[in-house]
Amino acid sequence: MFGFVPLIAVLVWVPYMVMRSPLATGVGVAREQPVPFSHARHVRSDEIDCRYCHTSVETSSFAGMPPTQTCMHCHSQIGVQASVLAPVRNSFQTGRPLVWKRVYTLPAYVHFTHSIHVYKGVGCVTCHGRVDLMVPLEQKFPLDSRISVIWQAEPLTMEWCLTCHRHPEKFIRPREYVFNMQWQPPSDQETLGRRLVEQYQIKDVRGLTTCSICHF
């Protein structure tokens, strides 16, 4: 009897911990990519706006991935002989697009739309973290490797999503700062958030937790 109770506890605890680990959520896992693209360099150093590459983030469910032509706008003049950019040049010359591995993946039964979240004042950082600070640890990921220089910042579990849907005032920001990586919430964020909830017409907060919001 004394051994049965701990056994049940372990059988419940182990799956629970596995489901919350990077093995299941993907948080912090770097994936091999055709080119080790660095957001830190492009966003922080070069100050390129998110929308330059992710062109449909304000208008559709998918943020969009840039075609090779977008990369070559700069790299036809910059780093033209860099070996790490050889796949980009080859893609441009052959017309075959680069095949990137998804960093963020939602189950097929979950419907997520970038545009509505951007329009309602949810910053990129809220879900994607400080991508402008994600730099490779050279001792682990050499710059000439093909390990991604970006990783999943948040677990994307239903619990995580509902935390924001239940209390959007704690997370939303003025629309003009949605793409600003360095914006910091003020000390009175909830006061600001409640004003923005009304201004952006997020009226039925309780309705944000209904199943049909994310599961059609």
d(CA 111, CA 109): 7
88's tokens:
């980009």
Question: pLDDT for 100-133, tens place per residue?
Answer: 999 998 999 999 999 999 999 999 999 999 999 9
- 28 confidence band (pLDDT: 50, 70, 90): confident
Give the pLDDT confidence score for residue 60 in this predicted structure. Answer: 96
DSSP 10: H
Residue 21 has pLDDT above 70, yes or no: no
d(CA 126, CA 68): 28
Residue 124 lies in a domain: yes
H or E, element range at 87: helix 86-94
Residue 77 lies in a domain: no
Q: Is 149 helix (H, G, I), strand (E, B) or coil?
A: strand
Residue 82 lies in a domain: no
Question: pLDDT for 141-199, tens place per residue?
Answer: 454 455 567 899 999 999 999 999 999 999 999 999 999 999 999 999 999 999 999 99
Task: State the CB neighbour count (10 A cutoff) for residue 181.
Answer: 18
Residue 92 lies in a domain: no
d(CA 71, CA 77): 11
Residue 136 lies in a domain: yes
CB 70, CB 122: distance < 8 Å: no
Residue 24 lies in a domain: no
Residue 19 lies in a domain: no
Residue type (1 letter), 60: S
120's tokens:
């309602």
What is the span of the domain harbouring residue 143? 30-65+100-213
Contacts of 160 (CB under 8 A, 6+ apart): 154
CB 18, CB 79: distance < 8 Å: no
Number of domains in the chain: 1
How large is the C-alpha radius of gyration of the chain? 21
CB 68, CB 92: distance < 8 Å: yes
Kindly report the average pLDDT of the chain as a whole number.
88
Residue 160 lies in a domain: yes
Q: Record the pTM.
A: 0.85
